[in-house]
Amino acid sequence: MRSLSDQLTETLQAAAQHERLVFLCSFQKEESVILDELLKLAPHTRVVTIDTGVLFPETLQTWKKFEEHYGVHIDVEDASNPSNPWTGPEHCCTPLKIAALEHSLGDAEAWVTGIRRDQAETRAHTELIEDDAKRPGVRKYNPLAFWAEKDVWNRIFERNLPYHPLHDQGFASIGCATCTQPGDGRAGRWAGTDKTECGIHVV
């Protein structure tokens, strides 16, 4: 049976064969691990983040650390709405965020995500390589699909990789400052609501 490390490398090697490859980065622990491998195998990858205009200050700091540590420029897709700013779970993840995603993947052949099966029930059947159900002809690579939380942290500490400081304050998953609270898994996202996904990874 292939090790988790081998799964990561082999999945990214397959992704690297695509000339127009996108990595969507939200500066969480999974992205720390993926970038460490991805940029060695596929330096042509376009690394993109979606800026909602209400990111945590710590997210902005981590963004800078990622660019410095990995030597990568991170492109920005603007999903902010100054005239009607996001204020909480009842007003977030607007069509602007989905539009930003669609624009970032506009001419992509494939994209890489940090999805893991144990993050949420909605992700429990994630495969390492999938056809993107929303985008015919586009491949979706999830190199950490079978990794557990402890596996991610082991790699970060083994390689002294930068990571988001809010993870040390009980935030297992980090989104916007207006609607993210500490919690295990994705429990802190849209806390107090039935919402579990922002729409980016929903079929």
Q: What is the pLDDT of residues 78-110, one digit of tens each?
A: 888 777 766 655 555 567 778 888 999 999 999
Residues belonging to the active site: 198
Kindly state whether residue 157 falls inside one of the protein's structural domains. yes
Kindly state whether residue 179 falls inside one of the protein's structural domains. no
Number of neighbours of residue 147 by Cβ within 10 angstroms = 22
Radius of gyration of the chain (CA): 16
Kindly state whether residue 181 falls inside one of the protein's structural domains. no
The answer to whether 27 and 62 have CB atoms below 8 angstroms apart is yes
CA 6 to each of CA 12, 149, 155, 175: distance values in angstroms, whole numbers, following the listed order: 10, 17, 13, 29
Instruction: Compute the distance between CA of residue 132 and CA of residue 140 in angstroms, rounded to an integer.
Output: 6
Q: What is the pLDDT of residue 100?
A: 87
CATH code where residue 132 lies: 3.40.50.620
Structurally, the chain folds into a number of domains equal to 1
Kindly state whether residue 88 falls inside one of the protein's structural domains. yes
Instruction: Compute the distance between CA of residue 42 and CA of residue 12 in angstroms, rounded to an integer.
Output: 8
Kindly state whether residue 195 falls inside one of the protein's structural domains. no
Q: What is the pLDDT of residues 48-73, one digit of tens each?
A: 999 888 889 999 999 999 999 999 99
Kindly state whether residue 174 falls inside one of the protein's structural domains. no
Kindly state whether residue 31 falls inside one of the protein's structural domains. yes
**Which domain does 91 fall in, by range?**
4-169
- pTM for this structure? 0.85
Kindly state whether residue 55 falls inside one of the protein's structural domains. yes
